[in-house]
Amino acid sequence: MSSTPLALFVGLPHPTISDDEFALFRETNPLGLFVGRRNQREPEQTKRLIERFREAVGRDDAPVFTDQEGGRVQHLDAGPWPLFRSFGQFAELAHRDFDLGKKALRLSSQAMGAMMTELGLSSGCSPVLDLVFETTSAVIGARSFGPDPDFIAALGREVVDGLLETGNMPVMKHIPGHGRATLDSHKERPVVDASRQTLIATDFKPFLALKDTPWAMVAHVVYSAYDAELPASISPVMHDVIRNDMGYDGVLISDCIFMESLSGTLPERVAQVLDAGFDIALHSHGDVRESEAAAKAARPLTDTALKRIAAGKARLGNLKIDFRAVHAEVEDMFASVPVS
């Protein structure tokens, strides 16, 4: 096993790690694991799964991510865990009472972060900073705070800081903005034809405001004003836009390479992400055969990526809270100012 992890997150089809998967992870040393609903049944099982992955790669701090935004995107949605509200609901609360909305979102983010940290999960890949319009693909919907970039940035700050305080890594997504995409990048390749001036003034703006967020996930969306052919996640041009024009120096991970906005085999997709200059390819599904193929196409993390990862870890706090009690406090806030 290489001492430097591969620039790759792997996934699993089941709630346990098989002996073959354990051996593969031990041999190839992927940076991290991405777990979904299919992998998480109850707290002790989730903890064991995470511990077994970390044992396989020989790193107690190996990152394990999930999708845990709230609303319809929360992979900890089985009976043992409280259900969290969508960003759209927090936006509605904030429109009625801005200070209350921000406070509720900060507390909810702390509760969600504490819940994940207690399980051993490193991140829920949140917040979503995409704008939403009438024409936006339904894949975003209530995952967004709305169409106003300044409003999104203000609420997104509460999520980023609340997660950091509880030792959970925020990952802003989908940089540089999925909101003008009218197609679902899980199924098709969206093309955004807005001008550079429009994108900078709108879609890019929340990411610019929160560019101190340690990690960001890159959209599988074509921005034709910059690169007419390639989605941002595999575009060297868009890599340079994010790094240089937007000034983002945190960890850049692709959205899941299984999404059909990309083309080619899974190994080719891994290579496309890394060849474009991004730090990490996210391979969040897959069986052992697919994970082996992805690992062969990956390469060790660069020294620069390792420094970015370390800088992000140094920002994590250690706030301890009763996440169930705080979640209940948030629900009381919503009850005081009813929203849909």
As annotated, the active-site residues are 186, 255
SS3 309: helix
SS3 203: coil
Contact 266, 290 (CB under 8 A): yes
**Among the listed residues 173, 152, 162, the one whose alpha carbon sits nearest the alpha carbon of residue 103:** 162
Structure tokens at 54: 């970390």
Give me the helix-helix angle, 149-165 and 98-119, nearest 10°.
Answer: 40
- In angstroms, rounded to a whole number, what is the distance separating the alpha carbons of residues 70 and 108? 9
Residue 182: half-sphere exposure toward Cβ, Cα within 13 Å: 6
- In angstroms, rounded to a whole number, what is the distance separating the alpha carbons of residues 116 and 323? 10
The single-letter DSSP state of residue 234 is: G
Structure tokens at 157: 């700050």
